Amino acid sequence: MEETVGFREKQIKRWKEIMTLLQQEGFLTVEQLAERLDVSLATIRRDLTALDEDKAIIRTRGGAKARIIETEEPSMKSKALQNSEQKEIVARYAASLIKDGDFVCMDSGSTTYQIIQYITAQNLTVVTNGVYHVQALIEKGISTFMVGGEVKEKTCATVGSKTLEQLDNFNFDIAFVGANGVSLQAGFTTHEVNEAEVKRKILDRSSQKYILADSTKLNHQYFISFYPLNGAIMITEKRIEFDYSKCKVLIVSEAAEAVK
């Protein structure tokens, strides 16, 4: 198990370095990447294939180039101020899906944070990787468990191998994660590899899977794909120009009623 975790950590570190180099240089050959990262050509080829499948880079003949995407990761506080009305509509409906006695998981996103104030169900246990979420849940009198790991400075989220190991112990009734972007090409996306891993793990460990994405997130794509469009139910608040037939979706009104 330790060898597997160590291998995964090295792989993720290498992927980050590859994406950073490609953002800086635009294009690099397999040979150039192998030399800079001091690994074999075969390892780089496998890495590039995996990153291309995740829509994080563009694989080309003999190398790879950067994908022109949005990359800046906002802080938790700044995200909370963005599109707050839309997020509240989505969060209010999401809270209504939680039933008495549910075992719930929510990630560290700003929209999942909004869910907490609207929870009315009783006898819950909520697991989260969000530092801000823990305080709000405790103040609400909800039984709370926080998974450990490295705490990210901007988002105050725990991430990394320890976080994933702990999540593997749980079987959730219902889970909610946020998406930074949603695109037909890449599915649900986020800024950073470690957070993508946590989101994916949370959804995989849950019977009911919901991804919260207000309408401003649609038709935007970020570094890392974490879930396919048809893999979970997306909750959004307004119909815009987007091919909804490619995903499972609930479009909710201000009255927190699903209209689709």
Residue 24: which CATH number?
Answer: 1.10.10.10
- What distance, in Å, lies between the first and last C-alpha atoms of the chain? 44
Please indicate, yes or no, whether residues 45 and 88 belong to a single structural domain of this protein: no
Specify the pLDDT at position 192. Answer: 87
Is the confidence at residue 61, as pLDDT, over 70?
Answer: yes
Residue where the block lists tokens 């998406």: 179
What's the pLDDT at 75?
A: 46
Residue 73's pLDDT is what?
52
Residue 1 has which token pair? 């198990």
The domain total for the chain is 2
Task: Please indicate, yes or no, whether residues 22 and 124 belong to a single structural domain of this protein.
Answer: no
pLDDT score, position 53: 79
Q: In whole angstroms, give the CA distance from residue 165 to residue 144.
A: 18
Is 71 among the domain residues? Answer: no
186: CATH = 3.40.50.1360
Q: Report if residue 260 sits inside a domain.
A: no
pLDDT in tens, 205-250: 999 999 999 998 998 888 889 999 999 999 999 888 888 888 999 9
Whether 202 and 242 map to the same domain: the answer is: yes
Residues 112 and 238 placed together within one structural domain of the fold? yes
* 170 plus 234 within the same structural domain: yes
H/E stretch holding 116: helix 110-118
> Where residue 68 falls among pLDDT bands split at 50, 70, 90?
low
**Alpha-carbon gap, residue 19 to 23, rounded angstroms:** 6
Of 47, 66, 85, the domain-final residue? 66
Give residue 69's pLDDT: 54
Eight-class DSSP state of 247 = S
Q: Both 47 and 96 in a single domain? A: no
**pTM summary value:** 0.70
What is the H or E stretch that residue 176 is in? Answer: strand 172-178
Range(s) of the domain holding residue 121: 76-251
- 62 and 126 inside one domain: no
The phi and psi torsions of 171 (rounded to 5 degrees) equal: -130, 100
Residue 229 included in any domain: yes
Least confident stretch, 13-22, 118-127, 190-199: 13-22
